[in-house]
Amino acid sequence: MNFDLTEEQRRIRDTLTAFAEREIKPFAAKWDKEETFPRHVIEKLGELGFLGVAFPEKWGGGGADTLSQVLIVEGLSRYDASIGLTCAAHMSLSTGHIAAFAADEHRDRYVPDMLAAKKLGAWCLTEPSSGSDAAAMKTRAVRVGDNYQINGSKMFITNGSVADVYVVMAVTDPDKGRDGVSAFIVDRGTSGLSNGRKIEKLGLHASDTAEVIFENVIVPARNIVGDLGAGYRQTLKVLDGGRIGIAGFAAGMARGAFEEARAYALERSQFKKRIAEFQAIQWMFADMATRIEASWVLICRAAALRDAGRPFAREAAMAKLFASETAMWATTKGVQIHGGYGYVTDFPAERYMRDAKLSEIGEGTSEVQRMIIAKSLLRDGYLPA
Burial class (CB in 10 A: 0-12, 13-18, 19+), 98: buried
To the nearest 10°, the Cα dihedral for 355, 360, 363, 367? -170
Tell me whether residue 315 is one of the annotated catalytic residues: no
CA 124 to chain CA mean position, Å: 14
Q: Do 81 and 252 touch, CB atoms closer than 8 A? A: yes
**What DSSP assignment string belongs to 287-323?**
HHHHHHHHHHHHHHHHHHHHHTTS--HHHHHHHHHHH
Given 259, 315, 363, 367, the catalytic residue: 363
- Residue 74's contacts (CB-CB under 8 Å, 6 or more residues apart) are 84, 248, 249, 251, 252, 255
DSSP E strand stretches across the chain: 121-124, 140-144, 147-158, 165-171, 181-187, 193-198, 209-220, 269-270, 273-274
Active-site residues, by number, are 363
